[in-house]
């Protein structure tokens, strides 16, 4: 639709990231964390709202995951990691207006980083369209970088601690990853 709607300068020259977060996927769920500046935040004294999100995978997806116990599965770990990366900005958009801001997203899966950077898992097909649709609709820019798995502990916990209630998860995050402003889920 570039012919009917020329790109805005923001889309060509992204600003420094305002929202920073990370995603992860496990055999049981998707999850992530992100940080949005509070109204009282400044360069001299930054303050952030810390958010954690998670989604349990349905059994129909989990049963199709390729693993040592299920080598004939049809869904890879990278597919799940991409699903978490695609869901992440939608979760952010549900908490804040992300129009014309830059979101920095970290992932511990290199195929996800490069699929997101390219905006496609292939050169054609519906996945390419879906990877770009959300950002075009809500007019944000998302950058994607790699974070080593052991350092991605917060997103890792979000995708794996699905046995905890929401209250227990927030208690866990507030005690293990304390912030100036308590975690929100």
- pLDDT per 10-residue tile (average), the chain, 185 residues: 59 80 97 94 87 97 94 92 92 92 94 81 59 73 92 98 98 97 94
**Residue 179 confidence (pLDDT):** 95
**Residue 6 confidence (pLDDT):** 61
pTM of the model: 0.86
**Residue 5 confidence (pLDDT):** 63
**Residue 12 confidence (pLDDT):** 64
Q: At what angle do helices 126-138 and 77-95 cross, to 10 degrees?
A: 20
**Residue 63 confidence (pLDDT):** 95
**Residue 122 confidence (pLDDT):** 62
Query: Would you say 154 and 179 are in contact if contact means Cβ atoms under 8 Å apart?
Result: no
**Residue 92 confidence (pLDDT):** 96
- Of 109, 136, 131, the C-alpha closest to 120 is 131
> Token match 């570039």: residue?
2
- Cα–Cα distance measured from residue 45 to residue 169, given in angstroms and rounded to the nearest whole number: 27
**Residue 68 confidence (pLDDT):** 93
- Reading the block at residue 42, the tokens are 């400044």
């Amino acid at each position: 639709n570039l012919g009917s709607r020329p790109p805005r300068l923001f889309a060509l020259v992204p600003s420094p990231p305002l929202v920073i977060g990370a995603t992860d996927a496990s055999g049981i769920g998707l999850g992530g964390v992100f940080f949005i500046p509070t109204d009282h935040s400044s360069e001299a004294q930054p303050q952030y709202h810390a958010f954690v999100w998670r989604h349990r995978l349905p059994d129909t997806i989990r049963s199709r995951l390729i693993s040592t116990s299920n080598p004939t599965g049809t869904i890879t770990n990278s597919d799940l990691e991409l699903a978490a990366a695609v869901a992440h900005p939608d979760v952010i958009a549900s908490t804040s207006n992300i129009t014309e801001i830059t979101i920095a997203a970290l992932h511990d899966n290199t195929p996800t980083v490069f699929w997101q950077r390219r905006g496609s898992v292939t050169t054609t097909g519906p996945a390419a369209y879906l990877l770009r649709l959300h950002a075009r609709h809500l007019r944000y820019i998302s950058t994607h970088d790699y974070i080593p798995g052991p350092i991605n502990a917060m997103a890792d916990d979000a995708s794996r601690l699905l046995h905890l209630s929401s209250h227990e998860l927030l208690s866990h995050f507030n005690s293990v990853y304390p912030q100036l402003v308590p975690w929100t889920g």
